[in-house]
Amino acid sequence: MHSALPDFDMPNDEQVHLAAESFRLLADPTRIKVLWALLQGESSVACLAELAGVTPTSVSQHLAKLRLAGLVKGRREGTFVFYSAADDHVRRLLAQALHHADHVDRDLPFGSDGHPEPHRPRAEK
């Protein structure tokens, strides 16, 4: 049935597994807050903890998982580590998820082309 469709393409098992793992890691409110903060610019664990409203220990645990998944990266400066979002893919993924949540939560219409406009963090300073 689907093989008759000329442009039909399924992702391979490894792609599906990695995508599911990324979504699983993003399925936590604290991780979403931490990632959103990191999309604004580089930050320390203490600052992220304050922004997310959790303890530094909690943020460190979340960052370790996000780093292993390739969603954040760290930069050491002396005894401090400063974190940032890994790349623009993370920005787009999280922006789309938040924009979708806005539309579902507030029953907002989609854009004029039928697609939602992405939610965007403020530009880095």
pLDDT digits (tens, 9 = 90+) for 23-50: 898 899 999 999 999 999 999 999 999 9
Distance CA 18, CA 99 (A): 23
Give, in order, the Cα–Cα distances in Å from 80 to each of 22, 44, 50, 58: 27, 8, 16, 17
The whole-number pLDDT of residue 108 equals 64
Give pTM, 2 decimals: 0.75
Residue 84 pLDDT > 70, yes or no? yes
Helices (H), the chain: 13-26, 29-40, 45-52, 56-68, 88-106
Mean pLDDT score, 55-84: 95
The answer to whether residues 72 and 31 touch, using CB atoms and an 8 Å cutoff, is no
The answer to whether residues 38 and 48 touch, using CB atoms and an 8 Å cutoff, is yes
What sign for the dihedral angle of Cα 16, 17, 18, 19?
Answer: positive
The whole-number pLDDT of residue 118 equals 52
